[in-house]
Amino acid sequence: MKIEKNEVKKFLSSWTKGVIEIGKAHEEQKNFTEAAINFLNHHYAFEEDDVMFKPTFTSIRLFRNNFDEALSYFIAGSFDEDNGFALKPWAKIELDEEPDI
């Protein structure tokens, strides 16, 4: 299956918007956990196969290999170093590199 560059751009745009939406839900005291679960289900394939997710801001436990560990990274919980990446008040997320396909 060939993945086109525009599909990658669309996915990355959806990913950044999803992270921002989790933070907004948290800030507005809405169900941010549900938003994070929906985000993970849409953007990661934990239910289909093994995933080696490498969070950006980790130094002790470098990978999150299952759904619950990834959820912890985005909204905090299971590991001391997980402070809730998506709970920060992100207004905009810019990705530095264009996908090279």
Q: State if pTM tops 0.85.
A: yes
Q: Does the residue 30 lie in any domain?
A: yes
Q: Does the residue 97 lie in any domain?
A: no
Most confident of 4-13, 24-33, 92-101: 24-33
Query: Where in the sequence is the domain holding 21, given as residue range(s)?
Result: 5-87
Cβ neighbours of residue 14 closer than 8 Å, sequence gap 6 or more = 42, 43
CA-CA-CA-CA torsion sign (60, 64, 67, 73): positive
The DSSP annotation for 59-87 comes to SSS--B-SHHHHHHHHH--SSTT---GGG
Q: Does the residue 99 lie in any domain?
A: no
User: pLDDT tens digits, residue range 56-90?
Assistant: 888 898 999 999 999 999 999 889 999 999 999 99
Number of structural domains the chain divides into: 1
Q: Does the residue 25 lie in any domain?
A: yes
Q: Does the residue 92 lie in any domain?
A: no
Q: Does the residue 24 lie in any domain?
A: yes
Under DSSP, the state recorded for 57 is T
User: pLDDT tens digits, residue range 28-45?
Assistant: 999 999 999 999 999 999
